[in-house]
A and B are shown apart, each in its own frame.
Chain A
Amino acid sequence: MDFLEPVELRPVLGDGAMGTMLQMHGLTSGECPETWNLDKPEAVAATHKAYAGAGCDFVTTNTFGANPIKLSRHGLDSRIEEIIARGVELARGAAQGCLVAGSVGPTGGLLEPYGELPPSEVEAAFETTARLLEKAGVDFFIVETMIDLNEALLAARAVRKATDKPLVATMAFTKGARGIRTVMGASPQEAAAGLEEAGANVIGTNCCSGMEEAAEIMKEIVAATGLPTIAQPNAGLPIPEGDKVIYPESPEAMADGLPKLLDIGVRIVGGCCGTTPEHLARMGSLLGKAKHPPGVN
């Protein structure tokens, strides 16, 4: 199945959060979420399965931080191959009938000259991850939650070196005093132009604060590119409650915001932090995809 084909024909439903779902399963702060592919595979699989049941067309592997630079901060870089292989296997096994997107997240460090990481080292790290995801057989790639366009470009180029499969690239944009930018200052226009040139096939935003902000961001991205676009917002801005935080946008509220995104021209929708299978089921229901009615998961 070609991932890009349905994108042209009808809206595609991506999945929702993995990290905040694993926290509900007991992932503690500071723990490396990707090690759960090895240590608590049942929680990762259950999350994928729930998203598949919600009607998602694809699920995203639990490999967001599975790059040599980030894993080395947990002393886990030597286990990268099994973490990625198992991550892909879990998604494939649990989400029957879904495409599997290989997640490539940021290194967590800053590039030279403003930071300490040499670009060549970062590109090599992304290439390692991309090659392992390719070897494990993902259907396409998603470079996501990038804030630094330079880092996103290194990731996109690394993926392109490793594979010809479709590449989705998302950055975490936010609306500030002078318009929409990432924390590191990349504008939607710069991101769209750069990522397209680096070989991305789909461009968009994720990890932004809810549906309303996503619509504002996507207006600019859709205007800036001829490529299909994607939006995977958070379930609103987190609100602290005791020792926990809650994400205030309900499944209904997020589904209510969906038609606006589609009107703008967004082709792929889904969720990020704080979204649950129930959020995705509501969206799926609206798109005529939900395999189970909302709330059943």
Chain B
Amino acid sequence: MEIIAQLKDTVIAGKLGEAKGLAEKALAEGAEPGDILEQALIAGMDHIGELFKKNEVYVPEVLLAAKSMQQAMQVLKPRLVKSGIEPRGKAVVGTVRGDLHDIGKNLVAMMLEGAGFEIIDLGNDVPAERFVEAAAEHEAHMIGMSALLTTTMHVMKETVELVKEKGLAGKVKTMVGGAPVTRGFAEEIGADGYGDDAATAVDLAKQFVGG
């Protein structure tokens, strides 16, 4: 459908104030909510994620695309719920205790949402207990943790350990990322995944829920 392609392009271009109207129009023209989600929003975010991974676009472009996608989601979400379309998975995300930086976490949250996940965003300064409680409460598939300060990274370790302690290992996957976080650190603390950037975090999340 022409309108779906148009919405996808709008998301990729990060045009604000157009996506909502286009989503309404697509629904009015009889497009299935699930198709709009998959073929316009998720496909558009997927495309911008690929460009981001190749350094062809940077953070601002991704954020604008995500905002555009969210504007379309405002009209789409109630219709998706009505059609019984489930999110691809649920992710609890947050910046770890002691860290007030939330740029990286917000980027990951928006890109996960763009990939069809439901996000439970705990904000910043989140302690290990809160991550694990929220994951249990919402029956989340994963916990995504971000740190920008080297001094706060140990909270990631605490969270991974608490997930095991509560018997949630395997059920709730853990992934970590942020400027000072390395693959080596993620392996050392026993996290299930390491996201080098927000786009990689989305790939990981997809793997966690089986592709």
Which of B64, B101, B180 is close to A108, meaning CB atoms less than 8 Å apart?
B101
**CB proximity of A61 to chain B, nearest CB, Å:** 21
A185 to B62, CA, bound (A): 11
B152 and A185: CB pair below 8 A? Answer: no
Q: Which residues of A contact B106 (CB under 8 A)?
A: 110
Q: For the complex, is A78 an interface residue (Cβ under 8 Å from B)?
A: no
Q: Is the interface of A mostly helix, strand, loop or mixed?
A: loop
B97 and A113: CB pair below 8 A? Answer: no
A240 and B185: CB pair below 8 A? Answer: yes
Number of cross-chain contacts by CB at 8 Å: 74
Q: For the complex, is B113 an interface residue (Cβ under 8 Å from A)?
A: no
The total of chain A residues at the interface (CB under 8 A) is 27
Q: For the complex, is A263 an interface residue (Cβ under 8 Å from B)?
A: no
A181 and B16: CB pair below 8 A? Answer: no
Q: Which residues of A contact B14 (CB under 8 A)?
A: 114
Q: Which residues of B contact A10 (CB under 8 A)?
A: none
A244 to B101, CA, bound (A): 19
- The contact string, 1 if C-beta is below 8 Å from chain A, for chain B 85-112, is 0000000000001111101001000000
The total of chain B residues at the interface (CB under 8 A) is 32
A114 and B63: CB pair below 8 A? Answer: yes
A30 and B125: CB pair below 8 A? Answer: yes
Q: For the complex, is B75 an interface residue (Cβ under 8 Å from A)?
A: no
A29 and B67: CB pair below 8 A? Answer: no
Q: For the complex, is A184 an interface residue (Cβ under 8 Å from B)?
A: yes
Most buried by B among A113, A181, A240: A240
Most buried by B among A109, A115, A176, A177: A115
Query: Top 7 A-B pairs ranked by shortest CB distance?
Result: A185-B58, A30-B98, A29-B98, A29-B151, A114-B63, A245-B150, A178-B55
Give B contacts to A, CB under 8 Å.
Answer: 14, 16, 54-61, 63-64, 67, 97-101, 103, 106, 125, 149-154, 180, 182, 184-185, 188
A113-B67, A240-B180 are known; give 18 further A-B pairs, CB within 8 A. A23-B151, A29-B99, A30-B99, A30-B100, A108-B100, A113-B64, A114-B61, A114-B64, A176-B55, A185-B58, A185-B59, A185-B61, A238-B150, A238-B180, A239-B182, A240-B188, A243-B154, A245-B153
Some 14 contacts from A to B, beta carbons below 8 A apart, are A30-B97, A30-B98, A30-B152, A73-B100, A108-B103, A114-B64, A115-B63, A184-B59, A185-B58, A238-B150, A243-B154, A244-B150, A245-B150, A245-B180
